[in-house]
Structure 1
Amino acid sequence: MPEMIFRVRWPDGTESDCYSPSLVVQEYFTPGQDYPAPEFLEKAETALTEASDRVQARYGFACSRALGQLQTIKRVCAPFLHRPDALVRVLSFKS
């Protein structure tokens, strides 16, 4: 199963590499696109859950790394969720 790293810039200007065990994140995000923090979080939750489900279907267990990445995204997004000007930019994909 192909893994993917997607790099994001948070509203505070910091950047992070985020992990997905599947290329499914390409269906939810576009490099160079800005997303309001709540929308980014919603899409990340959907994409990473779907990616973990694909691992479950193939190997018989969920992907703890994808679920851990989702928890990290939730933690980092939390301070920005009620700020309408807070945008998360997806910078790139690397597989």
Structure 2
Amino acid sequence: MPELRFQIEWPDGSQELCYSPSLVIKDYFTPDQVYPLADFLERSRTALHIASDRVQAKYGMPCSLALGQLSKLEQKATQYAELPEPQVKVLKFVE
């Protein structure tokens, strides 16, 4: 199963390299695209759950790395929830 990393930029300018066990992330994000924080989180939830489900279908258990990545994104996003119109930029995919 091909894995993928995607680099993002948070509203404060900090960057993070994120993990997906599947290329499905490409169906939900476009490099150099900016997403409102809530939309970014919803897309992340959907894509990373699909990726985890694909791992479960192949190996019999969900992907703890994908679910852990989602948890990290959700936790970090709470820092920006009070900002007016916070956005996250997807910088690039790293295969």
The TM-score, its normalising length taken from structure 2, stands at 0.96
Q: Distance in 1 between matches of 2:66 and 2:18?
A: 9
- Report how far residue 18 of structure 1 moved: 0.3
Check whether the contact 1:19–1:66 (CA below 8 A) recurs between aligned residues: yes
Structure 2 counterparts to residues 27-66 of structure 1, below 5 A: 27-66=27-66
- Report how far residue 78 of structure 1 moved: 1.2
Q: Distance in 2 between matches of 1:23 and 1:7?
A: 14
Check whether the contact 1:52–1:63 (CA below 8 A) recurs between aligned residues: yes
- Report how far residue 82 of structure 1 moved: 4.2
Unpaired runs of 5+ residues, structure 1, are: none
Corresponding residue pairs, total: 95
Structure 2 counterparts to residues 4-83 of structure 1, below 5 A: 4-83=4-83
Q: Distance in 2 between matches of 1:31 and 1:84?
A: 23
1:69-91 Cα shifts (integer Å, max 9, x gaps):
00000011112234342110000
Unpaired runs of 5+ residues, structure 2, are: none
Identity %, equivalent residues: 52
Segments ≥4 residues shifted beyond 4 Å: none
Amino acid corresponding to residue 53 of structure 1 in structure 2: D
1:28-87 Cα shifts (integer Å, max 9, x gaps):
000000001111000000000000000000110000000000000001111223434211
The TM-score, its normalising length taken from structure 1, stands at 0.96
Check whether the contact 1:5–1:18 (CA below 8 A) recurs between aligned residues: yes
CA RMSD in angstroms, aligned pairs only: 0.9
